[in-house]
Amino acid sequence: MKKTLLLSFVLMLALLTQAWAQNRTVTGRVTDVTTGEALPGVTVRLKGTATAAPTDATGSYSIDVPAGEATLVFTFIGYINKEVSVGNQSALNVALTGDTQNLDEVVVVAYGTADPATYTGSVAKIGAEKLSQRPVTNVTNAIAGQAAGVQVAGGSGQPGDGPDIRIRGFSSVNYSNSPLYVVDGVPYTAGLSNLNTEDIASISILKDAASTALYGSRATNGVVMITTKRGKKDRVQVNVRALQGVSSRAIPEYSRVNAQQYYPMMWEAYRNSLVSGTVTREQANQRATNTIKSLLGYNPFNVPDNQIVGTDGTLNPNAQLLWGDDLNWEKALSRTGSRSDYTASFNGGSEKSDYYVSLGYLNEKGYVIKSDFERFSGRLNVNTNLTKWFKAGANINYTLTNSNQANTGSATGFVNPFFFSRGIGPIYPVHQHDPTTGAYVLDANGQKIYDIGGSSPTMTRPVYPGRHIVAETEWNNYLYRRNVLGGRTYGEITFLKDFKFTGNFAIDITNYEEQTYENTVVGDGAPAGRAGRTIYNLTSYTANQLLNYNKTFGGVHTVEALVGHENYSRNYDYLTGSKSGEVVPNNTELQNFNTINNFNTYLQEHRIESFFGRANYTFDDRYTVSGSYRRDGSSRFYKDVRWGSFWSVGGSWRLDKEKFFTMPTWADMVKLRASYGQVGNENLNNSDGNNFYAWQALYTLGQNNAAEPGFSQATLGNRNLVWEKNNSFDAGLEFALFQNRLNGSIEYFNRTSKDLLFEVQLPLSSGVANRIENVGAMYNRGIELRLAGDIIKTSTFNWNLDVNWTTYKNEITRLPYEELVSGTKKLKKGRSLQEFWLREYYGVDPDNGDALYRAISYNESNSKIIGGDTVTSSANNARYHYAGTAIPKFSGGITNTFTYKGFTLSALLTYSVGGKFYDSQYASLMNHGSYGDAMHTDMLNRWQNPGDITNVPRMQVGNTVNLAAASDRWLTDASYLNFRSVSLGYNLPAPLMTRLKLRNVNIFATGENLALITKRKGMNVAQAFSGTTSAVYLPARVLSLGMNLSL
C-alpha cells in the first residue's frame, strides 16, 4: 500500500513538472522604430490562441508561451502589425513601424468601406477609442464636438432624450434638416435612444455629395453611418462594463428677486400705473400701500396687509417671512438623479466565423421628479464563411424602453415644471400655511397640503390660479413604452475571383404605447379626471442586392465598381384616444372613464425604389477618380414626377506619392481632393399625417348640414411637386506630418439648395388658401479645419490635442414672396434663414422712464428727437431692422487627452463664438405687466426717478406692449464654452492582470456637462439652431464612476 502511494506521488510530481516545463514566460519591450519611444497599450497575442497581454506605460509586456515553436503578434492602432517567432528566446524586444498612410483603417461609407488614403469624399470618423472616453447613453451625445462641420443642439436633461444634429448648415426652410441615420448598412427608423452605445464600434459622418449621393433622395442633410461591434478572430473575450452615477441640473436658474425685493417693486409698478393727471404721486403712493396685498393675493410677512410697504415704497423694517422655507418651487420639483448602466458582452471568432453577443441595462432617474428612463437591450451579431465562396451573417437586436416624463412638451404650459417654477413670484408657497402664524396646514393624516392658489378666503394667487406644478407632476402620469426589434441578414457570394454579389434584408419593428392620466383634483384633468392612450406600430423593410467588382491590374491600376438595387418600405399605423369622467379612483384604463373626448386613427405608407451604381479608379495609389449615380422613385410624389436622379463625381491626388517632385521629409501624407454632386430631400411628412402625400388634395370631415354629413376641401394638391435638391461642391486638403505626430484637414464646401418647398397663396376663387410649391433656394458656404497631434510624446507621458473649427454663411437666394415674416425672423432674398427681424430698442427716456425705440416716423403723441434720432415710446411705431443672425461666426470642439503610465485623462470642450440668441425666458422675467409674475434681478436697475440713466424702463402694470415688447433688447451674444466631458481612467498593471488571468481592468470617473460659460446666467444657448429658447428640460450634469473588465 505504501509503495502504491509513493509511486502515485512520484508519477503526479513528474506530470506536474512536465506540465510546468511545457510553458515559459517571454518578456520584452515594444518601442517606435523611428523615435525609440515606448508604446503603451500594444496588444501582444500568441498567434492561434486567445492568450494576449497589453504593454504597460513603459512599453513592457509579459506573456506565457508553450515550449517549442511559438509566434507573437504585435498590434497597435497607427502601426503596422508585426509577427515575431519566439524560438528559444525568453526576452524579446520589438520595434513597430508607423503606418504612413495616416492610419489606413477603412472607413464605413455608403454600401461598403473605403480607404481614407484615396477616398474622394468628405467623411469624419469617430472610432471606438473616442467613444470609450465618453460613456454617454445616447449616440448623438457621442458626436458632439468630435467632427468639423457638425453642430449639435437641443440637448435635453430628460432621461432618454438626445440632441439634434446639423451637418454643414441648413438645406431646407420648412422641412427636415436632420441627417439620415444608417445602422450596419441599413437606414434606421427606430430612434437612436434604442441603441446601446456600448455596442457601437464606429461612427462615420458623410458630409459631401461624393460620400452621400448613393443615398439619393434622403441624403441632402448628410448621413451618419453607425457600425456595431463584431467578434475578433482567434480570441474569445468577455467584457463587462458597469457605471453608476448621479445627475443634477447643469444650467442654473436665472437670477430672480426675492420676496423682500419683490413686494416693494410690485408696489412701485402699481403706483406708476395710478399716476395720471387726476391722481397725484402722493395719492398713488397711499393707494398702493393700502391695496398691493389684495392685488398680489398673499402676505408672506408678519405685518398687517396695509403695512407691508410704506408710502415711501420701502419694505416695513419689521417684516419677517412667515414661510420663507417653502418658497423654492424648483427645489420641490427636484431630486438627485441617478444613472445605472451595465453591459456584458461576449465575442470571439475563428478563421471562418465571428460573433458578438451583448446584454445591456440602463436606468436613469432625472433630476426632476417623475422623469425616468429604463432600457433593456440585447444584440447578436454573427458572421461566418460557410465555404470559400459564400459568406453569410445576421444581426438581431431587441430593445425595451420604459419612460416617465415630466411634461415639458408645452414650453409655456402650466404643466411644464420649468415654465411654472421660473415664472411664479417669490411670495407664493408650495404648501398651505396659516396666514397669521405661517404654520403649515396639515390634513387628517398629518401631511402637508399643497396650496393650489386659494388656501384661504384671504389669500388668492393671481398668477397660475387653480394650478400647482408639484401636485400635477406627482399626481399625473405620462408613461411611454417602446418595443423595438431589428434584424439584418445578408449573404455574400464571391465568384470569378474579382466579383462579389451581396444580398441584404433588414427589418425594424417598433411598437409604441403612450398612456397619460391627469388627476381629478388640480389641473387640466380636474374635476372629472382625464386619461389618454396612443398606440402606433412602425415597420420598415429594406432589401438590396449589390454586385461589386474590384481588381488591380499591373500593380498600379485599381478599379472598383458597384451596381445595386434597393427597395425601402415604411408602414406607420397610428391610433389615439382620450376620455374623461373618472369612475373608480386610481384606475387609469380608458374603460374607467365615461366620456369620449377624441378618437383618431391614420395609416401612413411610404416606399422608395432605387437603382444605383458607383465606379472608382486609382492609378498607382496617386490619382483617384470616382463617380456615383442613383435613380430614386418615391411614393411621396405623383407618378409622373416621382423618379429623380442623384449623382456625384470626385477625385483625389496623393502628392506625397508623386515622383516628379520631392516632398519634405516631414510630410508623410498630403492629399488633395474635390467633389461635386446632387442629392435630394423627400422627407415631407408631418407628425400629424397631413401633407404626407403633398401632391394630393386633402379634405376635412364634419362640415355637416343638419343630419347630412359633409366635408370641405382643406388643401389643394400639386402633382408637379418634386423633392428639394442640394448641389454640393467640396474641396479639401488632408495631411499627416512629422511621422504622423500631426494630422488634419482643411475643407471648403458650397451647398446650394433649390426647389425648396413653400406654401404659396392662391386666389380666393380657388376656395383654398394655399398650396405647396417648389419655389425656394438658398446656399451654405463654409470652411472646416481639423488638427490632431501629439504635443508631447515620451516613453511615459503623452499629450494629444484634437481641434476642429467650422465657419459658414447661409443666404436665401429665392422666395415665393419678397419677404416672409415668422416670429422673430424675416426671410428675404440676400438674408440668412436665421436672421432676426426685431424692433430696434433705443433705451430709456430719462425724463419719464419710457422704453424708447427708433421710430418709423415722427408722431406727436409718442415721438421725440434725442441727439438727432427720432424715437418713440410706442411699440406700434417702432422701426424693425435685421438685428443679427443665430448662426455663429465659428464653432467646434477641443479634445485633450493625457496619458501617464496607466492613467488617461480626457477632456472635451465645445465652443461657439458669435451669433445672436433671443432670450425669451429673460424677456418674460423682465416683463412686469402682471401681478404675481417673477422678476429678474436686472429689474433692480430700473428707472425710478426723473434723470435716472439706465437701460431698464420704469415698472408699470398693464403697459407690457410698450415696456417689454419683442425687440433687439432681448438679443444676447450667443457665444459659449461648454466643458462637455471629462474622464479619468486607470488601467491596472499588466503583471497584475496576468496573475489574475484577466485581459484588462479599467477604472474610470467621468463628468458630463460640467460647466457652461455664457453671457448670462441661466441661458440655454445651445437649445436650438434657431437661436431661440423656451422652458425645456435643461441639460443634466452627470458624475459617474465605472469599471471596464475584460476576460
Looking at the predicted structure, is the pLDDT value of residue 620 above 70?
yes
Please name which of 568, 770, 774, 572 lies closest in space to residue 689, comparing C-alpha atoms.
572
Contact criterion met (CB below 8 Å) for 1009 and 339: no
pTM: 0.87
The mean per-residue pLDDT over the stretch 269-287 comes to: 89
First CA to last CA distance, the chain: 45
* pLDDT at position 567: 97
Please name which of 401, 113, 325, 309 lies closest in space to residue 230, comparing C-alpha atoms.
113
The mean per-residue pLDDT over the stretch 387-405 comes to: 94
Task: Please name the amino acid found at residue 434.
Answer: D
C-alpha distances in angstroms, 716 versus 176, 391, 686, 773, 1006? Answer: 22, 52, 16, 11, 55
**Cis omega (within 30 of 0) for bond into 527:** yes
Higher pLDDT, 44 or 57: 44
Chain segment 876-928, per-residue pLDDT in tens: 999 999 999 999 999 999 999 999 988 999 999 999 999 999 999 999 999 88
Q: Which of 431-435, 574-578, 954-958 has the lowest mean pLDDT?
A: 954-958
Looking at the predicted structure, is the pLDDT value of residue 104 above 50?
no
* pLDDT at position 5: 41
Domain 24-96 has CATH 1.10.1040.10: no
Chain segment 117-160, per-residue pLDDT in tens: 899 999 999 988 788 888 788 888 899 999 999 999 877 788 98
Alpha-helix residue ranges (DSSP H) falling in 558-692: none
The mean per-residue pLDDT over the stretch 343-358 comes to: 92
Cell representation of residue 578: 382620450
Chain segment 163-179, per-residue pLDDT in tens: 899 999 999 999 889 99
In three-state secondary structure terms, 40 is coil
Q: What is the distance, to the nearest Å, from the Cα of residue 774 to the centroid of all Cα atoms in its chain?
A: 30
Task: Please name the amino acid found at residue 509.
Answer: I
The mean per-residue pLDDT over the stretch 453-461 comes to: 76
* pLDDT at position 700: 79
Split at pLDDT 50, 70, 90, the class of 515 is very high
* pLDDT at position 544: 95
* pLDDT at position 102: 38
Looking at the predicted structure, is the pLDDT value of residue 675 above 70?
yes
The mean per-residue pLDDT over the stretch 345-363 comes to: 93
- Alpha-carbon distance of 200 to 130, in angstroms, equals 11
Looking at the predicted structure, is the pLDDT value of residue 3 above 70?
no
Looking at the predicted structure, is the pLDDT value of residue 281 above 50?
yes
- Strands 623-634 and 390-404 come out as unpaired
Q: What is the distance, to the nearest Å, from the Cα of residue 736 to the centroid of all Cα atoms in its chain?
A: 31
The mean per-residue pLDDT over the stretch 203-221 comes to: 95
User: Taking all residues of the chain, what is their mean pLDDT, rounded to a whole number?
Assistant: 90
C-alpha distances in angstroms, 928 versus 253, 267, 300, 425, 815? Answer: 19, 11, 20, 11, 39
Split at pLDDT 50, 70, 90, the class of 60 is confident
* pLDDT at position 105: 67
Split at pLDDT 50, 70, 90, the class of 687 is very low
Contact criterion met (CB below 8 Å) for 499 and 548: yes
* pLDDT at position 929: 75
Looking at the predicted structure, is the pLDDT value of residue 16 above 60?
no
Burial of 444 (C-beta count, 10 Å sphere; 0-12/13-18/19+): exposed
Percentage of the chain lying above the pLDDT 70 cut: 94
Looking at the predicted structure, is the pLDDT value of residue 569 above 50?
yes
Cell representation of residue 152: 449639435
What is the enclosing helix (H) or strand (E) of 92?
none
The domain locations on the chain are 24-96
Looking at the predicted structure, is the pLDDT value of residue 666 above 80?
yes
Please name which of 102, 318, 411 lies closest in space to residue 1032, comparing C-alpha atoms.
411
Q: What secondary structure letter does DSSP report for 1034?
A: P
Burial of 585 (C-beta count, 10 Å sphere; 0-12/13-18/19+): exposed
Chain segment 532-557, per-residue pLDDT in tens: 999 999 999 999 999 999 999 988 99
Question: How does DSSP assign 760-817, residue by residue?
Answer: EE--GGGSSSEEEEEEEEEEEEEEEEEEEEEEEE-SSEEEEEEEEEEEEEEEEEE-SS
* pLDDT at position 704: 75
Looking at the predicted structure, is the pLDDT value of residue 812 above 50?
yes
* pLDDT at position 99: 57
Looking at the predicted structure, is the pLDDT value of residue 970 above 90?
yes
Sheet architecture: strand order including 851-854? 841-844, 851-854, 869-872, 863-866
Split at pLDDT 50, 70, 90, the class of 576 is very high
Contact criterion met (CB below 8 Å) for 646 and 678: yes
The mean per-residue pLDDT over the stretch 795-821 comes to: 94
